[in-house]
Amino acid sequence: MIYRRPKTINPNPLLHHANANTHAEKPRPREFRKTIPFVTQLKTVEDPEEAFSLFHRYKQQGFRHYYPSYAALLYKLARSRKFEAVETILAHMKETEMQCRESVFIALFQHYGPSKAVELFNRMPQFNCTRTVQSLNALLNVLVDNDRFDEANHVFGRSYEMGFRPNTVTFNIMVKGWLAKGEWTKACEVFDEMLHKRVQPSVVTYNSLIGFLCRKGDFDKAVALLEDMGQKGKRANGVTYALLMEGLCSAQKYEEAKKLMFDMAYRGCKPQAVNFGVLMNDLGKRGKVEDAKALLHEMKKRGIKPDVVTYNILVNYLCKESKAVEAYKVLLEMQIGGCEPNAATYRMVVDGLCQTGDFEVGLSVLNAMLTSKHSPRSETFNCLVVGLLKYGNVDGACFVMEAMEKRKIELDLQSWETVITSACSEDKGVSDLLAVLPSSCI
């Protein structure tokens, strides 16, 4: 549900309007939309079956569900891939002739997969829903991202016939699709059609083309496109320069890439985190992790706040260099700096600590990771259990095994052998391990 902020109202408008009619009513602030109890409670429910049951309980209690309730439930079920339940809800909405918004179908496309997305796109008018170019774009994007480009190209070819007027996003998706197939000429034909239809290319359009050329090593043609952007009044952004810098780094021209980054400001574009990330990544690949760390500090000195991607680059190469403890310090540094680690950050650090035998620190990072609602790989869980037991931390091993049980992740054979061997020792506390995951023995 979207809440709209009420306009700020002067508490005493007469102070500014001395001659105003004293009987005039003060303007009333726009009221907030009312909260819907079901939707509010649904947000706290993680289990899709429970979400479905909650929907019916409210209905049995006399609560009348309107579109926001149905939409919220559909999002929840689709994210959990409970597509039969999704179809049940959609069928009920169709029977009641409820008018559906396009946004809910766009969200479903992203979870359904290509075939079901096409089917649902064709069924949208049955739900009192008018399809616009936004749903067309969402469908094309799903098809292209799932390597179904021929179908996407067929739908695109029929777009005008179906009453759609392709926009910049539509053409960008098709350019992306042709380039993914390595078809430069076809991508250029789409670009030309775009101009012919008087649809303005965006920076994203140029970035797709420039990125392809840089990956192919055709740097001169990429620079020519950069100049063409300027002539057409399109200002290159940080991503544009990052793509050019990646091309230079791939050609082992790090110094030229670094010079291009510092020349960006003269071209009207301030260097960003993504640009520093390109240089750090190249340094990391070449084993120059200390130089990458120095570049991160240089970035901060210039007032550019590192993002999670930038930090992850450094964490990744520190772990590869068996410097997991330093990676852990970077994790703490980013948290102190207000940058929230993502699942990849935690996974790299925990895996790195396991590889270097720092299981106690790994356990603390795992705890933070689970608290943040991220989860490591099965291999990481198993590695931690074995490592903690070998170092005598039975309580820590039990904690990890309980976390595995909650996530229905089983111990592998080698880990079970370690648990059983430990359980056969004289330490009575270790024997309690066998009671932690009884269902995992099956």
Gap between the Cα atoms of 286 and 47, Å rounded: 46
**pLDDT the model gives residue 99:** 82
Asked if residue 31 has pLDDT above 50, the reply is no
In a domain, 50, yes or no: yes
Least reliable range by pLDDT among 46-60, 292-306, 354-368: 46-60
99 CB neighbour count, 10 Å cutoff: 10
Gap between the Cα atoms of 356 and 362, Å rounded: 10
Task: Report, as an integer, the average pLDDT of 107-117.
Answer: 91
Gap between the Cα atoms of 208 and 291, Å rounded: 30
For the chain, how many structural domains are there in total?
1
In a domain, 132, yes or no: no
Could you give the 3-state DSSP secondary structure of residue 126?
helix
What confidence category does residue 348 fall into, taking pLDDT thresholds of 50, 70 and 90? very high
In a domain, 342, yes or no: no
In a domain, 38, yes or no: yes
Q: Output the CA torsion sign for 324, 328, 331, 336.
A: negative
Asked if residue 21 has pLDDT above 90, the reply is no
Given a contact cutoff of 8 angstroms between Cβ atoms, the answer to whether 139 and 109 are in contact is yes
What confidence category does residue 226 fall into, taking pLDDT thresholds of 50, 70 and 90? very high
In a domain, 126, yes or no: no
Gap between the Cα atoms of 247 and 253, Å rounded: 9
Task: Report, as an integer, the average pLDDT of 39-65.
Answer: 81
Task: Report, as an integer, the average pLDDT of 413-427.
Answer: 67
In a domain, 133, yes or no: no
pTM of the model: 0.79
What confidence category does residue 429 fall into, taking pLDDT thresholds of 50, 70 and 90? low
Asked if residue 417 has pLDDT above 80, the reply is no
What confidence category does residue 267 fall into, taking pLDDT thresholds of 50, 70 and 90? confident
**pLDDT the model gives residue 434:** 56
Instruction: Write the DSSP string, 288-345.
Output: -HHHHHHHHHHHHHTTPPP-HHHHHHHHHHHHHTT-HHHHHHHHHHHHHTTPPP-HHH
Give the list of residues 6+ apart from residue 135 with CB closer than 8 angstroms, or none. Answer: 102, 105, 106, 109, 121, 124
Give the list of residues 6+ apart from residue 134 with CB closer than 8 angstroms, or none. Answer: 102, 106
In a domain, 148, yes or no: no
Look at the block and give the residue holding tokens 């936004």. 134
Domain, as residue range, for 70: 1-11+33-98
Task: Report, as an integer, the average pLDDT of 202-229.
Answer: 94
Given a contact cutoff of 8 angstroms between Cβ atoms, the answer to whether 405 and 439 are in contact is yes
In a domain, 4, yes or no: yes
Task: Choose between 52 and 248: higher pLDDT.
Answer: 248
